[in-house]
Amino acid sequence: MRKKLLGALLSVAMVASMLVGCGSKAEPAAADSAAPAATEAAPAADAGSDTAEKTGAGKKVGVAMPTQSSERWINDGANMKAKLEELGYEVDLQYAEDDVQMQVSQIENMIASGVNCLVIASIDSGALVNVEEQAKAAGIPIIAYDRLLMDTDAVSYYATFDNKGVGTAIGEYIKEAKKLDEAKANGESYTIEFFMGSPDDNNAHMLYAGVMEVLQPYLDDGTLVCKSGRTSFDDTCILRWSQETAQQNMENYLTGFYADEKLDIACTAFDGFAYGCKAALEGAGYTVGEDWPLITGQDAELMATKNIISGYQTMSIYKDTRLLADKCVTMVQAVLEGKDPEINDTEQYNNNKIVVPSYLCTPVAVDQSNYKEIIVDGGYYTEEQLAE
Ligand code: BGC
């Protein structure tokens, strides 16, 4: 049922993306997104004060975003657009619906249309090397947004969240919630399966490294048991962060390995994966409050936060996209106005060509115990949105 509904939503999104491809500007069409309730999902864009100096007047910024199929990118795009416009910049915001070639041509078009700066959240950054060269040749600076742009020296700055920190936060959450040290001392064990991110996204590799930094010792000593045996990044990564693949993988794991013993933990790297796992678990007869496993996620999407409240998801990683947009805007100003953006990492993000000066925002684990304080009091979602 759910799969069908999702399929229908996705086809709507695909049609929308085709229309986007033929049209001019791709405004975030939240209603067409596969992320349920995305229309009301966007946090207040926080465009800043009305008195902001219009230092961007006469300049145009191209913002290339990966997809509208997940809510976070809709919020990211909306925040970036609002904040840049507040400063007087003209903004060309485009979504490529996880189509690598579409993103390449969107960026080519931005270059041809004479943008002064590019902000890119890549789908597969390996595919962007040539177009980034074109931008460099045309004197257009590039800022990497959330995902590192690999194999290029054409990128000036990188605004992101601490991606390895996301992984360690997920690992630590599982360790604490399941009291793994105590379990180990008592000779107890928990079953676990992994659902990791897209192999063409540098963030996914860093997240995996963070998760395993915490959990690998417990896999090694048998406190955590992965019955499918799939614990490596290569065996657990999911191309283009597909919710459907996560659901399919979970269905396969449940029928193949958990007929006699329940799954205790679904360690997933993305709220979309958590939705896929939820559907598979419901299909297999798991019940919240009885045998429902601990499920992790990332992004604290509106849907995920509702699922946390109702118990269908245990935790997520909250990433305040308003903050990320703020940091990114300071980078745009830096490259266009000769200002110095705030940087807090000059070591971790080597893209195989250069170490990209970065600002890492801090990800925060949220669950039933703190979502009110972090998410509601922080003004990200209102109680009303969460109650709908
Ligand atoms: C982002 C995550 C997001 C994932 C899927 C990653 O690059 O850092 O926040 O969940 O992409 O969209």
Indicate if ligand 1 lies below 6 Å from the C-beta of 83: no
Last residue of a domain, one of 261, 285, 318: 318
- Both 106 and 206 in one domain: the answer is no
Residue that has been written with the tokens 């109702």 in this structure: 310
- Is the same domain home to 35 and 156? yes
Q: Is 121 inside a domain boundary? A: yes
Cβ–Cβ under 8 Å, residues 24 and 62: no
Q: Is residue 72 part of a domain?
A: yes
Cβ contact 241:35 at 8 Å? no
State whether the Cα torsion 67-69-70-75 is positive or negative. Answer: positive
Ligand 1 pocket residue status of 203, Cβ below 6 Å: yes
Q: What is the pLDDT of residues 32-58, one digit of tens each?
A: 333 333 334 556 555 444 556 788 999
- Pair (170, 301) in one structural domain: yes
37 located within any domain:
yes
For 270-290, the pLDDT digits (tens) are 999 999 999 999 999 999 999
Mutate to test the pocket of ligand 1, among 70, 122, 146 (most ligand atoms within 8 A of CB): 146
Q: How far is the CA of 319 from the centre of ligand 1 (A)?
A: 10
Predicted local distance difference test score (pLDDT) of residue 357: 98
Q: Would you state the pLDDT for residue 31?
A: 32
CATH of the domain at 28: 3.40.50.2300
- Res 382: pLDDT: 97
* Parts of the chain with a pLDDT under 50: 1-40, 47-49
Question: What is the number of domains present in the chain?
Answer: 2
6 located within any domain: no
Sign of CA dihedral 21, 22, 27, 31: negative
Q: Are residues 178 and 298 in the same domain?
A: yes
Classify residue 78: in a domain, yes or no: yes
Q: Are residues 314 and 168 in the same domain?
A: yes
Residues 76 and 119 in one domain: yes
- Residue 329 and residue 297 in one domain: no
Nearest CA to ligand 1 atom 5: 241
257 lies in which domain range? 164-318
Q: For residue 52, what pLDDT is reported?
A: 67
Which atom of ligand 1 is the closest one to the Cα of 317? 9
Q: Say if 386 falls within a structural domain.
A: no
Do 175 and 55 share a structural domain? no
Do residues 353 and 235 both lie within one domain?
A: no
User: Do 146 and 197 sit in the same domain of this protein?
Assistant: no
